């Protein structure tokens, strides 16, 4: 598929069915055609992946492939006569394409690895930020308005710190706080007008303001923006963020500028990745391909008990702890290795960690990377996704609840409100795809050990989306009991 994209210029989207982390096993399949193809190509990948390719994979391939194609790394296409392979990072590539600076010529076939994070990369690049030190830079740039800037900062601090605390230290900006920012920009604009009466350029594209304040001001003028603050209460500081509610409309023109191959692990349950393509603004005529985990070597055992209380009931936590203790006892009897317990709810995660530490001592660690061989890791979804590559493949992965984005998180609530305004199915288009993708990436290491996934969320048994959750976990074999025998790997499983 990659070679075809290079040869005929047909874009493609490939779901590799394997995690797209540091050791992504599918990478040889795109590096090979990139090295053989005689014309220039671009590979967009994180720095960690680039180092893996340059230090390990490409030297190995070159022992077998008779090619001397030049390889460079950088944030731009420096030489118009260069006919080799350029490795660049997602921020560098997106910054060029979104700002149309021409650092990467059009029509050069481009492969993007790690497409699972594509929407997140785009959001980060499109989000303007004001950090605490930017206020000092603004006062230095506009000394005549230093008092007005200081007053606006004080009023914003007072208002923002009145928000009740939440586990995310993140809050949507209210109308009164947006008004303070708007008034500050009006003062700054008046100052510019008085001192640049003959200026013909827009004041937010001039050099009157520091670059961060220019970007933030332009973002405020756009429609369908999400405005939020992140607060550090201990230091008494806050940062401001303004980014788009959706990226499809901004990205849609980028994909037609060159043949492009997007490669990720798990992008969509659908082979055609219809929801994924809709959220990214990808063209309809992309060739889509999806690989599934191998049933012979990557089958998991799924323990999905029925009858547990629903997660939003008071009875859930005691029942959850009972199941966790039974499963840990089974792994201890079987003498198995690492046990991982994923708990998305922050207070519940701390409570589970404390209760287990009281029973099992130092074997239990909450979001730490140094564990015993038979350690018990209690972690949130984000921690596990960021660090799972440094752990051995767990024999048992327990999931307290499905990883739906929390509606109590301000950014999630803001996006859901956006879908509601458009009268779109926010659960099917946003929450469910996010949860299924997170779930598939989280259980990927268990497939290596053909271990056990214990899913303790009874909604899978009684909600209409349960079948989609089970499809995301396939290939798997259902089990309905807990003892040491379930940790014996399957032999010759069909």
Distance (Å, rounded) from C-alpha 308 to C-alpha 144? 65
pLDDT of residue 493 exceeding 50, the answer is no
Over residues 353-375, mean pLDDT = 89
pLDDT of residue 221 exceeding 80, the answer is yes
pLDDT of residue 380 exceeding 60, the answer is yes
pLDDT range class, residue 37, cuts 50, 70, 90: very high
Q: Do domains 2-126+247-290 and 300-487 have the same CATH topology?
A: yes
In CATH, the architecture of 128-244 is: Orthogonal Bundle (1.10)
The encoded tokens of residue 95 equal 């910054």
pLDDT of residue 333 exceeding 60, the answer is no
Distance (Å, rounded) from C-alpha 90 to C-alpha 113? 9
Question: In this structure, are residues 138 and 185 in contact, taking their beta carbons and an 8 Å threshold?
Answer: no
Mean pLDDT of the chain: 90
pLDDT range class, residue 458, cuts 50, 70, 90: very high
Over residues 176-187, mean pLDDT = 95
Over residues 173-185, mean pLDDT = 95
Runs of H (alpha helix) within 233-281:
248-251, 274-280
Distance (Å, rounded) from C-alpha 363 to C-alpha 357? 7
Question: In this structure, are residues 331 and 411 in contact, taking their beta carbons and an 8 Å threshold?
Answer: no
pLDDT of residue 22 exceeding 50, the answer is no
pLDDT of residue 492 exceeding 50, the answer is no
pLDDT of residue 199 exceeding 90, the answer is no
Over the Cα atoms of the chain, what is R_g? 25
Paired sense of beta strands 476-479 and 300-303, if any = parallel
The encoded tokens of residue 405 equal 């984005």
pLDDT of residue 486 exceeding 50, the answer is yes
Domain ranges of the chain: 2-126+247-290, 128-244, 300-487
pLDDT range class, residue 79, cuts 50, 70, 90: confident
| CATH classification for the domain delimited by 300-487, as one of 3.90.1150.10, 3.40.50.300, 3.60.21.10, 3.40.50.920 | 3.40.50.300
User: What's the CATH fold of domain 2-126+247-290?
Assistant: Rossmann fold (3.40.50)
Question: In this structure, are residues 397 and 360 in contact, taking their beta carbons and an 8 Å threshold?
Answer: no
The pLDDT of residue 322 is: 93
Distance (Å, rounded) from C-alpha 82 to C-alpha 71? 10
Percentage of residues in the chain having pLDDT higher than 70: 95
Question: In this structure, are residues 457 and 402 in contact, taking their beta carbons and an 8 Å threshold?
Answer: yes
Look up the pTM and report it: 0.87
The pLDDT of residue 208 is: 87
The pLDDT of residue 247 is: 93
Burial of 157 (0-12, 13-18, 19+ CB in 10 A): middle
The pLDDT of residue 93 is: 96
Over residues 477-489, mean pLDDT = 71
Distance (Å, rounded) from C-alpha 257 to C-alpha 109? 9
Question: In this structure, are residues 45 and 71 in contact, taking their beta carbons and an 8 Å threshold?
Answer: no
DSSP 393: P
pLDDT range class, residue 362, cuts 50, 70, 90: confident
Nearest to 307 by CA among 322, 285, 294: 322
Burial of 123 (0-12, 13-18, 19+ CB in 10 A): middle
Q: Which H or E element spans position 98?
A: helix 90-99
CA distances from 78 to 54, 72, 295, 454 (A): 20, 10, 46, 51
The encoded tokens of residue 451 equal 């271990």
Question: In this structure, are residues 301 and 475 in contact, taking their beta carbons and an 8 Å threshold?
Answer: no
Secondary structure in 3-state letters for 18-64:
CCCCCCCHHHHHHHHHHHHCCCCEEEECCHHHHHHHHHHHHHHHHCC
Identify which has the larger pLDDT, 449 or 440: 440
């Amino acid at each position: 598929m990659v070679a075809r994209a290079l040869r005929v210029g047909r874009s493609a989207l490939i779901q590799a069915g394997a995690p797209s982390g540091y050791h992504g096993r599918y990478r040889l399949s795109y590096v090979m055609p990139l090295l053989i193809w005689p014309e220039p190509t671009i590979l967009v990948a994180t720095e960690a992946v680039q180092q893996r390719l340059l230090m390990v994979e490409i030297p190995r391939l070159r022992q077998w492939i008779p090619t001397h194609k030049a390889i460079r790394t950088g944030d731009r296409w420096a030489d118009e006569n260069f006919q080799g392979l350029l490795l660049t990072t997602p921020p560098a590539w997106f910054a060029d394409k979104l700002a149309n600076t021409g650092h990467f010529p059009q029509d050069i076939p481009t492969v993007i690895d790690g497409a699972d994070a594509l929407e997140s990369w785009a959001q980060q690049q499109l989000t303007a930020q004001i950090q605490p030190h930017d206020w000092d830079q603004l006062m230095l740039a506009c000394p005549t308005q230093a008092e007005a800037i200081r007053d606006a900062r004080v009023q914003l601090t007072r208002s923002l710190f009145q928000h009740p605390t939440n586990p995310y230290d993140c809050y949507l900006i209210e109308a009164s706080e947006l008004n303070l920012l708007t008034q500050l920009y009006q003062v700054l604009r008046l100052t510019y007008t008085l001192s640049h009466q003959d200026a013909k350029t827009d004041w937010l594209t001039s050099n009157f303001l520091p670059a961060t304040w220019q970007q933030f001001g332009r973002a405020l003028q756009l429609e369908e923006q999400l405005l939020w603050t992140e607060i550090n209460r201990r230091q008494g500081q806050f940062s401001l963020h303004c980014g788009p509610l959706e990226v499809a409309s901004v990205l849609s023109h980028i994909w037609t500028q060159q043949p492009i191959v997007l490669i990720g692990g798990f992008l969509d349950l659908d082979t055609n990745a219809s929801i994924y393509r809709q959220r990214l603004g990808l063209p309809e005529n992309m060739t889509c391909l999806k690989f599934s985990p191998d049933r012979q070597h990557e089958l998991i055992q799924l323990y999905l008990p029925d009858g547990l209380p629903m997660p939003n009931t008071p009875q859930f936590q005691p029942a959850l702890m009972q199941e966790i203790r039974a499963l840990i006892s089974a792994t201890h009897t079987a003498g198995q290795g690492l046990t991982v317990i994923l708990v998305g709810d922050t207070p519940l995660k701390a409570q589970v960690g404390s209760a287990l530490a009281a029973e099992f001592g130092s074997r239990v660690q909450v979001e730490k990377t140094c564990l015993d061989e038979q350690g018990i890791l209690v972690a949130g979804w984000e921690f596990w996704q960021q660090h799972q590559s440094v752990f051995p493949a767990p024999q048992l992965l327990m999931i307290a609840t499905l990883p739906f984005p929390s509606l109590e998180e301000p950014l999630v609530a803001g996006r859901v409100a956006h879908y509601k305004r458009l009268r779109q199915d926010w659960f099917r288009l946003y929450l469910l795809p996010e949860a299924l993708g997170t779930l598939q990436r989280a259980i990927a290491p268990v497939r290596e050990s053909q271990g056990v996934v214990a899913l303790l969320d009874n909604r899978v048994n009684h909600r209409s989306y349960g079948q989609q959750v089970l499809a995301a976990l396939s290939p798997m074999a259902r089990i309905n009991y807990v003892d040491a025998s379930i940790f014996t790997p399957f032999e010759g499983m069909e």
